[in-house]
Amino acid sequence: MLIPANQGEGGTNDWKRNFSDTGNGITNPAKKFRGVGKGDLGSTFYIQWRQRFSLAHLNNYYRVSSGRGGWKMINIGDGDDYDEKPKNSALINEIVMNNDELRLCPSMYHSVLAFAQIADKLDTSSIKQYKDSNGELHNGYTFDERFQNAIDKGPTKINLFERYAMIGAFRIFKPPYGQSKPYRYINRPVPPEYPAVCFHPDEWMTFQVGVTLGPLGSSPSSIEGSDNVEGWTNSRVEVWAAREGQSSVKIIDKGGITLRREAGADLNDSEGYGKIWFTTFHTGLIADPAERDDAETWYDELIISKSRIPDPKNRFEK
């Protein structure tokens, strides 16, 4: 997929496919992942793919007119139903992997309505400033999130937003606005308390998302506030990532999530998971040909299963 320098938000590339059965009428309705006991495809699924990023895609500073910034990689949402308009990607039940705020590491969020980060939330209001292990000083924020909670086990009294934001600062040099390009990929050492899995250019990285749906109902969600949310309660999202030729590392494991539904807890509604979008969508992206380069990303070897999928290197080893 090409991301031209003159592309704004409206010029998004995507590739979409149903992985559920759309059905062919009332007697054969669509079959999707809708949870235990619904007579469909079940409650657990895994999606694995390989993705390659050009150097320009990681080095470009993508300016936005609104939102947090950061390009998407995959949307997972409701499958199409027979004889209805195809579902779009911006849905209440969507599960999305993206490069949030251009941190250069994969993170996840849920729902176009809630935009809830699939992460551990921590109160760091007592932290004003701190130094990382390289001696660099950072300012504190009120609340922070462990975006890769399965591997980010650093001290809680460190500002996590800055920890992730600094991944970009330690790996990418961006010249002052309006000056020479392309940018330089300098790969400075990342402090050991920072999370380990980042994007790397010009290699095939592997990503896998696992989703386990809980029972339909209403309950607070571990990624939102204390109010009840209607949908699949006590659900779980897991994510693995791997560099080319290496074994995967679990980077996200978050349970207790109420995955939202358009239909809430309606047992009779057909809403479920059954469609993916590979996409370069970037909310609020500004066309900026003078300040960034044409970039590309590639996708390959999509696998969808009801069981955990082995790493590519392990599948082909004798």
pLDDT recorded at residue 177: 43
How far apart CA 262 and CA 94 sit, in angstroms, is 10
Ramachandran category for residue 115: left, alpha or beta (phi over 0 → left; psi -120 to 50 → alpha): left
Each residue's pLDDT tens digit, 247-286: 999 999 999 999 999 988 888 888 899 999 999 998 888 8
Q: For all residues of the chain together, what is the average pLDDT? A: 80
| Cα 32 from Cα 143, distance rounded (Å) | 37
Q: Tens of pLDDT along the chain (318 residues)?
A: 998 888 888 767 899 999 987 776 555 666 888 886 665 788 999 999 999 999 888 888 788 887 777 899 999 999 888 777 888 888 899 999 999 877 788 999 999 988 999 998 776 666 666 666 666 666 555 456 778 889 876 555 454 555 555 555 444 444 444 444 434 344 445 556 666 688 888 999 999 999 999 999 999 999 998 899 999 999 999 999 999 999 999 999 999 999 999 988 888 888 899 999 999 998 888 887 777 888 999 999 999 999 999 998 655 554
Q: Residue 75: what pLDDT?
A: 96
Of the candidates 113, 150, 74, the one whose C-alpha atom is nearest the C-alpha of residue 231 is: 113
Contact 247, 315 (CB under 8 A): no
Q: Which domain holds residue 140?
A: 2-316
What DSSP designation does 227 have?
A: S
Separation CA 166–CA 132 (nearest Å): 10
The pLDDT of residue 176 is: 43
Domain total in the chain: 1
Q: What phi-psi label fits residue 187: left (phi over 0), alpha (psi between -120 and 50 degrees) or beta?
A: left
* Dihedral angle over CA of 157, 161, 165, 166, nearest 10: -10
